[in-house]
Structures are given as C-alpha cells and as structure tokens.
Amino acid sequence: MRASQQDFENAMNQVKLLKQDPGNQVKLKLYALYEQLINSATCLPKPGVVDMVNKAKWEAWNALGSQPKESARQNYVDLVSSLSPSSDTSSQGTHGANEKVQESKHIVVTYEDGITKIMFNRPAKKNAINFQMYQEIMLALKNASTDNSAITVFTGAGDYYCSGNDLTNFTSAAGGMEEAANRSTVGLKEFVNTFIDFPKPLVAVVNGPAIGIAVTLLGLFDVVYASDKATFHTPFTHLGQGPEVCSSYTFPKIIGSAKAAEVLLFGKKLTAREACAHGLVSEVFPDSTFEKEVWTRLRAYAKLPPNSMRISKELIRKNEKDKLYEVNAEECTTLKTRVLSDEYINGIMNFLSRKAKL
Ligand code: COA
C-alpha cells in the first residue's frame, strides 16, 4: 500500500520524537525528500561554496534527482519507519534508552543516554573477576565498540569497584596448575589487547576500593573518576606475581617511576586523592555526591560528536599501540612462570587460609 498524506504527517511527528539523533546524512535525506514533496521544486538555486549548510542541503536534494511526489512521500515514510524504536530490534548495534543489552552472570551491561555501562556485579565477592567474567567483559567491549553509544563506562556494584583477579581461578581450574597457567595467560593477553584496541572513550567510575587488575587496567582507560572512598592497591609482590596489563610500562609513565616502583614492587596502597595527585585518577568526588555528579557530567560528554571523540582517541593512542602489545605479551610470558612458582602458590594459600587464622 502506498503511503498517504496522513502517513507522511505521522512520520514528520515521529521524527520529532526520535530519542537518538539519526545523524547528519539521514537528516539531509529527510530534508531533501521533504523539499521534493512540499515544494516540488524542479530547480533550487545552488548556494555559494562558503554557505556550507545550504550547500549540503542542496547537494542532498540534487542527489535525489526528479521523482514523483508519491515516491518522495513513500521514501520519507519508509526512512522514518526504519529509524523508529520498534524497528531498532532488527538493526544491530542500536539500543533504546536504559536498555539491558547483555545478560551475563556477573556483569550487567546497560545502554542509556549514549553511554554503554558495564558494571561488575559480584558484590558478595567484592566483584572479583573469575574466568567467566573475563569472557563476558570481552564480549561486552566487542559489542560496545560497534553499538551506537558515544562512550563506555565501567563501574562496580556494591561497596567495591573490583577486588581484582579471582584468586580461586587457579585453584579451582580443572587440569592442574600448569594447564590453568597456560589458559589464563593466553586469555589475559587477549583480554588486555581488547582494552588496548577499544576505539571509544573508556571511562572508569571507581565507586570503592580497586585491587590488582582493576587498578592496572586504569592505565588503559581514558578518564578515571573516583569516589573519595576509593583506594588503589596492587599487592602483586605479596602474591609472588608481577605487574600485568602493561602496568610495567604505563604506570612509570603515568605516575612517575619512583611512585610506580612503590606501588608495583611494595604494594603501596594509594588513596583516591593520592592517585589523583599522581595522575592515575582524573578527578575525585565526595562519596555522598559521587554518583550524581559523575553521571551528570558523563551524560553531557556523551552528547559530544562521537566520531570526533573516536578520531581524537585514535590520535592520542596510536603511537603507543605496538609498544603496548609488546609489553602485554612479555608480561604474560613472565606471569606464566610466576604463577607456577612457590612464592605465588604460598601467596594464594595465605589468602585462602586467612579466615582460618583469625
Ligand atoms: N578472589 C577471590 N575471592 C575474593 C577476592 C578475590 N580477589 N576478593 C574478595 N573475595 C571473596 C572473599 O574470599 C570472601 O568470600 P567468602 O565470603 O566466600 O569468604 C568475599 O569475597 C568477601 O571478602 P572478605 O575477604 O570476607 O571481605 P573483607 O572486607 O574482609 O576483605 C578484600 C575484602 C578485598 C580486602 C579481601 O577479600 C582481599 O584481600 N581479597 C583479595 C584481593 C587480591 O589480592 N586481589 C588480587 C590482586 S592481584
């Protein structure tokens, strides 16, 4: 059935109600179809080269060529219908407001106001990252890199941001320590590369203490906001292991070599204000207003032109990428030998038996 005048008017109203900006190309096409239908102009005057906006509109109109009013009306209605929320389900990578986009056991991924939020959701274990969560996070990042969000944000459920690697990952793995060490270091390398390659602005909203890999990952984030209740702790030496997630390279660069050595070698815990003073954290907020202030700000940032942010991030990061891949590979090779060492096994045993000692 051909689109009627009423269908066209409904479509015009629908455009005003769109929650997502459809982008300039679509807006220009809508404008051009509208012009053909309403004014049926056969020859609009071509604007001068300096009149950029009207020139773009003229070019969009000119590109349509001549078509009957009925076709212009039908094309307008079809185009609007392809943008409406009811058709979003069929278009990959497009989400409605506050939509849960990934059902996983220990992470919750939601989309709202141009932001994909990935929340560690294992509060009973202080959001420690088990094998399954590593996979879930990689999938969430893969999806977020192509969805219609402008920025991607990590945060934690409950009182912790994240207590790092789940220390039972090795002891509970089937096939013995050696196989677990192989599997986890291959997995870690891929996991870290996913962060290195992530194309959009990556923001951490650190709502509470962060430990281990939750801290070292911050060196690959673009912006880090922290509650004044957050702390940053990398007890690698206590566990007989070494730095990971490129922190042997990023931390001296970000926080300076003397402070990085204290943090990575001796496990010195930083408060949020110390981490901010050393450049690991962008800004610290009082815990009482943290969520409100940070999310208000992020919603405003998510309205900035997304392509411009991606291109700028690419420029900021691209000279470092090869170095980061190389450091990541080297750290994973070292980690594989460390997790089979007596020092590491003792560190894990100390953690697992700590409650019995109390
Ligand atoms: N791996 C596995 N389990 C963890 C964990 C981790 N990284 N962090 C916390 N948990 C578990 C605890 O074992 C405990 O489980 P249980 O209730 O079944 O006993 C639960 O989460 C709550 O932690 P608990 O230790 O009881 O709370 P706490 O407030 O006394 O201490 C921490 C919290 C995070 C300081 C403490 O659990 C800890 O030191 N965890 C290890 C952190 C770590 O070393 N991470 C790796 C760095 S490389």
The predicted pLDDT at position 295 comes to 98
Q: Please report the DSSP string for 212-240 in residue order.
A: THHHHGGGG-SEEEEETT-EEE--TTTTT
Helix (H, G, I), strand (E, B) or coil at 159: coil
Tokens 């880090």 belong to which residue? Answer: 224
Tally of CB atoms within 10 A around 123: 14
Asked if 187 contacts 179 with a C-beta cutoff of 8 angstroms, the reply is no
The answer on pLDDT for 7 being more than 90 is no
Q: Which two tokens stand for residue 351?
A: 């953690």
Q: What are phi and psi of 60, to 5 degrees?
A: -65, -40
H or E segment to which residue 115 belongs: strand 115-120
CB distance 238 to ligand 1 below 6 Å: no
The answer on pLDDT for 85 being more than 70 is no
Residue nearest (by alpha carbon) to ligand 1 atom 34? 163
The residue type at 241: Q
**CB-side neighbour CA atoms (13 Å) of 166:** 22
The pTM for the full model equals 0.78
d(CA 187, CA 163): 19
Helix locations, the chain, DSSP H: 5-17, 24-38, 52-63, 69-83, 85-88, 131-146, 176-197, 213-216, 247-255, 257-266, 272-277, 290-301, 306-317, 321-338, 342-352, 354-357
17-26, 62-71, 203-212: least confident range = 17-26
CB distance 243 to ligand 1 below 6 Å: no
Q: What is the mean pLDDT of residues 86-97?
A: 50
Tally of CB atoms within 10 A around 136: 23
d(CA 290, CA 238): 31
H or E segment to which residue 285 belongs: strand 283-285
- Spacing, Cα 125 to ligand 1 middle (Å): 6
4-18, 41-55, 157-171, 296-310: least confident range = 41-55
The predicted pLDDT at position 4 comes to 86
Q: What is the DSSP letter of 61?
A: H
The predicted pLDDT at position 92 comes to 42
Asked if 203 contacts 223 with a C-beta cutoff of 8 angstroms, the reply is yes
Residue 237's Cβ-count burial label (10 Å; 0-12, 13-18, 19+) is middle
- Spacing, Cα 127 to ligand 1 middle (Å): 9
* Sign of the Cα pseudo-torsion (216, 221, 224, 226, in order): negative
Nearest to 127 by CA among 160, 103, 152: 160
For the CA of 233, the nearest atom of ligand 1: 47
CB distance 165 to ligand 1 below 6 Å: yes
> Pairing relation of β-strands 231-233 and 283-285?
unpaired
For the CA of 209, the nearest atom of ligand 1: 34
Asked if 187 contacts 180 with a C-beta cutoff of 8 angstroms, the reply is no
pLDDT tens-digit map of 210-264: 999 999 999 999 999 999 999 999 999 999 999 999 999 999 999 999 999 999 9
Which of 120, 121, 126 is the pocket-test mutation for ligand 1 (most atoms within 8 Å of CB)? 126
d(CA 263, CA 337): 22
Asked if 60 contacts 31 with a C-beta cutoff of 8 angstroms, the reply is yes
Strands laid side by side in the 270-271 sheet: 210-211, 231-233, 270-271
The predicted pLDDT at position 344 comes to 92
Domains, the chain: 5-87 (1.20.80.10), 102-357 (3.90.226.10)
pLDDT tens-digit map of 347-356: 988 998 886 6
The predicted pLDDT at position 296 comes to 98
Tally of CB atoms within 10 A around 286: 10
For the CA of 236, the nearest atom of ligand 1: 48
Asked if 184 contacts 175 with a C-beta cutoff of 8 angstroms, the reply is no
Mean pLDDT of the chain: 89
